[in-house]
A and B are shown apart, each in its own frame.
Chain A
Amino acid sequence: MKRERNTGLSRRGFFRAAGAGAVAAAGVSLIPVTALADAAKTNAAIDKLTGGTATKSGRIKMKTPIIAENGAVVPIIISVDSPMTDSDYVKSLSVFVQNNPSPEVAAFNFTPACGAAEVKVNCRMAKTSAVVAVAIMSDGSVYKAEKTVKVTIGGCGG
């Protein structure tokens, strides 16, 4: 069954145009201060995890909802491309929700016996945020991926 969604395109288009105009005019960053702080907190947590190793992109696939039905349960599927052999496997996969009070969600520790580095977990998201996945390989290399999930305030509780 398809759900009708009235959000999105027209509003997004409007903001893009307005934002572009505003940036051009004022030359001021539109990113709110709290978001900058959250990103800094998450990056610090990632640095602590990786020992500052530079992160590469690729190898991580993330499946997340575009809009979370409810921020209390956001299903996330993450898989990391790896042969999972004794000499080449994913050692750990850490997940962060950038705009949460604390960004850490979970860390998954694999062994070659897993055969595949793929996990499915439900996480809590306080608000719209980037979900960041960081994979550390057996050779020490680090990969990072992120996806934004929208979290809205519902209208009907009870």
Chain B
Amino acid sequence: MASARLKVPKKAKKGDIITVKSLIKHKMETGQRKGKDGKPIPRMIIKKVSATYNGVEVFSADWAPAVSANPFLSFKVRATESGTIELKWTDDNGKVVSQSAKITVQ
């Protein structure tokens, strides 16, 4: 089970542009490495990250194996209303890890 961190400012003024930071534990196996037996280790990466703000997708990223292991991602969102920002990470097998954080917008 991957562990993930998500940081969103607890409070913001309406209209402020806030920074969302995320980190997830994942090897991001490229498929280029060879195992001790000389055979290539199969690719297994997080290929999609999707961010929703109160259920509406506001930002997404498509990743290739060139994204570093334990990938960090930071992006911006305009604070419009109080609620939840949720991130979903999906890997090559379709497995999903999600993490959410609350924000209060005044």
Name the contact of B59 in the complex, choosing from A104, A111, A120 (C-beta under 8 A).
Answer: A111
Name the contact of A114 in the complex, choosing from B58, B64, B71 (C-beta under 8 A).
Answer: B58
A120 and B73 form a contact (CB under 8 A): yes
Give the Cβ gap from B17 to chain A, nearest Cβ, in Å: 4
- How many residues of B are in contact with the other chain, CB < 8 A? 27
Name the contact of B78 in the complex, choosing from A97, A114, A125 (C-beta under 8 A).
Answer: A114
Of residues 59 through 91 on chain A, the ones whose CB sits less than 8 Å from some CB of chain B are 72-75, 84
User: With a CB–CB cut-off of 8 A, which chain A residues contact B78?
Assistant: 84, 113-116
User: With a CB–CB cut-off of 8 A, which chain B residues contact A97?
Assistant: 66
User: With a CB–CB cut-off of 8 A, which chain B residues contact A106?
Assistant: 61-64, 66-67
- Known A-B contacts A105-B66, A115-B78; the reply to A121 vs B73 at CB < 8 A is yes
**Main SS of the interface on chain A?**
strand
Q: Could you say which interface size class chain A belongs to?
A: 20 to 34
User: With a CB–CB cut-off of 8 A, which chain B residues contact A73?
Assistant: 68-69
**Main SS of the interface on chain B?**
strand
A104 and B66 form a contact (CB under 8 A): yes
A102 and B73 form a contact (CB under 8 A): no
B66 and A124 form a contact (CB under 8 A): yes
| B32 touches A (CB below 8 Å) | yes
- Known A-B contacts A111-B57, A115-B17; the reply to A72 vs B68 at CB < 8 A is yes
A102 and B64 form a contact (CB under 8 A): yes
B59 and A108 form a contact (CB under 8 A): yes
Query: B60-87, CB under 8 A of A: which get 1 and which 0?
Result: 1111111111011111111010000000
B66 and A102 form a contact (CB under 8 A): yes
Give the Cβ gap from A118 to chain B, nearest Cβ, in Å: 5
Q: Which of A74, A97, A102: most chain B Cβ within 10 A?
A: A102
Q: Which residue of B lies closest to A72 (CB)?
A: B68
A115 and B72 form a contact (CB under 8 A): no
Show 11 residue pairs from A and B whose CB-CB distance is below 8 angstroms, ordered by the A residue.
A74-B68, A97-B66, A105-B66, A106-B63, A107-B61, A109-B59, A114-B76, A114-B77, A121-B67, A121-B73, A122-B67
Q: Which residues of A are at the interface with B, using a C-beta cutoff of 8 A?
A: 72-75, 84, 97, 100-102, 104-111, 113-125
- With A105-B67, A119-B74, A122-B71 given, name 13 new contacts (CB 8 A): A72-B68, A73-B68, A73-B69, A105-B66, A106-B64, A108-B59, A109-B59, A111-B57, A119-B61, A120-B74, A121-B71, A121-B72, A124-B68
